[in-house]
Amino acid sequence: MSYTLSGFEGKVALVTGAGRMRSIGRPIAVELARAGCDVVLTGSGRAADTYPADEKAAGWRDIESVADEVRALGRRALPVVSDVRDAAAVERLAEQVLQAFGRVDFLINNAGSTRGGDRIAATELPLEQWHRVLDTNVDGTFFMSRCFARHMGELGNGGVIVNISSIAARMLAPNTAAYATSKAAINALSTVMAGELGHRGIRVNVVAPGMIDTSRMDDVPRGKVWDDIVRKHIALQRAGTGADIAHMVVFLCSDQAAWITGQTFHVDGGHGHAPRR
C-alpha cells in the first residue's frame, strides 16, 4: 500500500486570496502545484503601497509572485484579479478559467476580510463593518461555491470544494460578532452543500485554522505578547504556519480523502488545550 497522496495529475485548482507573501493562500497554491495541479490564483488587486514592509522589501508582486512559484514547479498558473463579493465577477472568472484550462477540479475558498474595525461589541459595531466582513466571507464563499459547483457538475468529473473557516466559529468570543458569525455561516453552508452535491461526486469540507503566523495577524505584537498567547492557549506550544493548513487542504483534495465530505477539520495545534502552568 502506498501512502503517497494521489489524484492531482491533470487537475486544475483555484485558490482565492492567494497573493500575500506570509499567508495561508500562498502555501495552499504552491502545495497543490507541488502535488501536480495547474493553479488559478485570485487576488483583490490591492495597491502596492498597502503591502507590509517585508513584501515591499522583497519586491513582492502579489498573485504574480505566487504564479511564478507555481510555474517554477513545472505547472501552469493563471493569476486573476477578481472580486469574490461580486457574483457577476465570479461568473466572468469561471468563463476565464474554463477557457484557459477547460476544467476546474478543486476550489479553495480562502479569501477573507481583513482584521479591522469589526472587533468590537456587537451593539457598537458599525453596519459598514458588519457588511464588509459578511460580504467577503459569506457572500464570497457562496458565490464561488455556487458558480463553480455548477460547472463541476456540468463537466461530470466530480470535484472538491474546501472552504477556509476559523476556530472563531467554535470559540464565539466577545467582540467577534461579524467574524465569528461569518465563519459559522461558512461551516453551515459547507455542510448543506456537501449533502446537495454528493450525488455528483463533489465533496465539500471545511478547514478551520487556529492561530496562524501570517501578515493578517500583524496587529498582534510578536515577542512577549505573542508568545504568552501561544503558551496559554495552544497545546503544541507554537503558532501554526500557512503550510500546516496547506497540507490538510491537499489531503482533502486527494484520492485518499475520497470518502470524506461535509466535515469541519480544526487545524489549530490543540487550541484551548494547553497545559495549565
- For position 142, what pLDDT does the model report? 98
- The full set of domain ranges for the chain reads 12-267
Quickly name the fold that domain 12-267 has.
Rossmann fold (3.40.50)
pLDDT tier at 219, thresholds 50, 70, 90: confident
The answer to whether residue 137 scores a pLDDT higher than 90 is yes
116 vs 174, residue with greater confidence: 174
What mean pLDDT is predicted for residues 249-253? 98
pTM (whole model) above 0.85: yes
What mean pLDDT is predicted for residues 197-226? 94
- For position 216, what pLDDT does the model report? 85
- For position 2, what pLDDT does the model report? 52
What mean pLDDT is predicted for residues 140-168? 98
List, by residue number, the catalytic residues.
179
- For position 114, what pLDDT does the model report? 86
The answer to whether residue 3 scores a pLDDT higher than 80 is no
Chain centroid to CA 55: how far?
20
Share of the chain above pLDDT 90, in %: 93
Of 5, 3, 15, 31, the C-alpha closest to 246 is: 31
When the pLDDT of each residue in the chain is averaged and rounded to a whole number, the result is 96
The answer to whether residue 277 scores a pLDDT higher than 70 is no
Q: Could you report the per-residue pLDDT of 16-51, keeping only the tens digit for each?
A: 999 999 999 999 999 999 999 999 999 999 999 999
What mean pLDDT is predicted for residues 2-8? 86
- For position 143, what pLDDT does the model report? 98
What mean pLDDT is predicted for residues 108-118? 92
Instruction: In whole angstroms, give the CA distance from residue 164 to residue 210.
Output: 11
